[in-house]
Amino acid sequence: MIGLILLPFYILFNIYLNNKIIKWINLFITINNLFKYILLSIQLLLTLSLYIALLLPHGNMKKILNIIGNYYLGFMIYVAITLILLFIINLIFKNSINNSINNNIHIIEGFIAIILVVFITMYGNINSSIIHTTKYEVSINKKSNLKELKIVMVADMHLGYNKGLKLVKDMVSKINKEKPDIVLMAGDTFDNDYDALDRPNLMIKELKKIKTKYGVYSVYGNHDVKENIILGFTFQDKKQKYSDTRMDDFLKRANIKILDDEYVLIDDVYIYGRPDYAKYKNRKSVNQMIKNMDTSKPIIVVDHQPKELDKLSKANVDLDLSGHTHDGQIFPLSLLVKLAYKNSCGIKKFNNMTSIVTSGVGLYGPNMRVLTKAEITSINVKFK
- The SS3 call for residue 235 is strand
Query: Is residue 92 located within the same domain as residue 210?
Result: no
Rounded CA separation 3/190 (Å): 19
> Considering 127, 144, 178, which residue would you say is the last residue of a domain?
127
Q: Is the pLDDT of residue 97 over 80?
A: no
Q: Is the dihedral of CA 376, 377, 378, 383 positive or negative?
A: negative
171 and 318 in a common domain: yes
Looking at the fold, whether 123 and 187 belong to one and the same domain comes out as: no
Quickly list DSSP for 254-304.
TTEEE-SSEEEEETTEEEEEE--TTT-TTPPPHHHHHTTS-TTS-EEEEES
Same domain for 93 and 235, yes or no, is no
Among 170-179, 232-241, 359-368, the minimum mean pLDDT is found in: 232-241
Chain segment 237-279, per-residue pLDDT in tens: 544 446 788 999 999 999 999 999 999 999 999 999 999 988 8
pLDDT of residue 240: 46
pLDDT tens digit string along 272-306?
A: 999 998 888 789 999 999 999 999 999 999 999 99
Q: Please provide the size of the chain in residues.
A: 384
- 309-342: per-residue pLDDT in tens? 999 999 999 999 999 999 999 999 999 999 999 9
CATH number at residue 320: 3.60.21.10
Report the range of poorest mean pLDDT among 11-15, 202-206, 251-255, 358-362. 11-15
Q: CA-CA distance, 189 to 183, in Å (whole number)?
A: 14
Total structural domains in the chain? 2
- Measure Cα distances from 50 to 3, 59, 189, 285, 375 in Å: 10, 14, 21, 37, 27
Distance of alpha carbon 334 from alpha carbon 361, whole angstroms: 16
Q: Are residues 166 and 303 in the same domain?
A: yes
Q: How far apart are CA 244 and CA 19, in angstroms?
A: 44
Whose CA is closest to 172, among 256, 286, 242? 256
Asked whether residue 143 falls in the same domain as residue 200, the answer is yes
Q: Is the model's pLDDT at 98 over the cut of 60?
A: no
Q: For residues 227, 163, 39 and 7, what is the CA-based torsion angle, rounded to 10 degrees?
A: 20
**pLDDT for the residue 99:** 56
Which of 73, 106, 127 represents a domain boundary (last residue)? Answer: 127
pLDDT value, residue 184: 98
Q: Residue 27: is its pLDDT beyond 50?
A: yes
Q: Are 318 and 364 contained in the same domain?
A: yes
d(CA 71, CA 56): 19
Q: Grade residue 235 by pLDDT with cuts at 50, 70 and 90.
A: low
pLDDT band with cut points at 50, 70 and 90 for residue 101: low
- Mean per-residue pLDDT of the chain: 89
Find all residues with CB under 8 Å of 313, minimum gap 6, and list them.
350, 351, 352, 353
> In percent, how much of the chain has pLDDT > 90?
59
- Position 242 scores a pLDDT of 60
Same domain, 74 and 161: no
pLDDT over 70 (residue 234):
no
Confidence of residue 109 (pLDDT cuts 50, 70, 90): confident
Task: Report the distance separating Cα 66 and Cα 185, nearest Å.
Answer: 26
Q: Do 66 and 206 belong together in one domain?
A: no
**Residue 139 CB neighbour total at 10 angstroms:** 13
Q: Do 153 and 183 belong to one domain?
A: yes
Bridge partner list, 217: 184, 257
122: containing domain: 2-127
Radius of gyration of the chain (CA): 24
- Residues facing 135 on adjacent strands: 378
Same domain flag for 174 and 35: no
Same domain, 94 and 182: no
Dist. CA 305–CA 335, nearest whole Å: 18
Residue closest to 24 by CA, chosen among 94, 99, 80, 108:
108
| Among the listed residues 13, 29, 25, 27, the one whose alpha carbon sits nearest the alpha carbon of residue 83 | 13
Q: 0.85 cut: is pTM over it?
A: yes
Q: Residue 129 above 80 pLDDT?
A: yes
pLDDT above 90: residue 230: no
Which of 108, 127, 146 represents a domain boundary (last residue)? 127
Please give the pLDDT value at position 19. Answer: 81
